[in-house]
Amino acid sequence: MSYRLIFTDQYTKRAARFLKRHPDLEKQYLKTLQLLELNPHHPSLRLHALSGKLHTLHSVSINLSYRITLEILIQDEQIIPVNVGDHDAVY
């Protein structure tokens, strides 16, 4: 089963700023998004639910330092990226 990524205008702007600051991560970032569409439960993504004020979101790893927070709508097979950045920026 594959999922569909839904990009909001707000996320697109955040991602553009992130990639402008970290152009060296563009390949890893795109690979993460591709894998997320194919299999969000792939072990390398380290998908996990968040808690506290972000309890409605999940997170996946781009690498050890950077994350993407997500809203996952399992029923509709949609994934909506919310934020991208380092640990402190997205949590």
Q: Which tokens in the block code for residue 48?
A: 């996990």
pTM: 0.89
Question: 8-63 pLDDT, tens per residue?
Answer: 999 999 999 999 999 999 999 999 999 999 999 999 999 999 999 999 999 999 99
Count up the domains in the chain and report the number.
1
Structural domain contains residue 34: yes
- 20, 31, 52, 70, 82 from 44: Cα distances, Å: 24, 11, 24, 16, 20
- The SS3 call for residue 55 is coil
CATH number, residue 19: 3.30.2310.20
Mean per-residue pLDDT, 83-91: 87
Is pLDDT at 73 greater than 90 in this prediction? no
Residue 50 lies in a domain: yes
The whole domain housing 55 covers 4-85
**Do the domain assignments include residue 91?**
no
